[in-house]
Amino acid sequence: MNIPININELEILRNTLYIHAKALNSVWNDKQYNYFLQNYVQPVTNDVQVAIDRLNDSIFALRIAVEELEDLAGKY
């Protein structure tokens, strides 16, 4: 089953995570907050960014393939 992936949604979720994590800064001291960011937030946002980059690379490759197929189809 093909399910469309909205890359903007991933970016919004990544930003939302940072916004909510930033709110904890007022509750925790700097050491606790930095630990939380480094060990929980940053790994997740890094994974999301890697997924976004892979999707963008795949989309680019697929667009090139589609253009080549359309070009071939136009010749026949």
pTM above threshold 0.75: no
pLDDT tens figures, 1-43: 567 778 888 889 888 988 888 888 888 888 898 999 899 989 9
DSSP symbols for 14-29 = HHHHHHHHHHGGGTS-
Sign of the C-alpha dihedral, residues 26, 28, 42, 44? negative
DSSP symbols for 35-50 = HHIIIIIHHHHHHHHH
For the chain, give the longest Cα–Cα distance: 68
**What is residue 71's predicted lDDT score, i.e. its pLDDT?**
92
Q: CA end-to-end span of the chain, whole Å?
A: 31
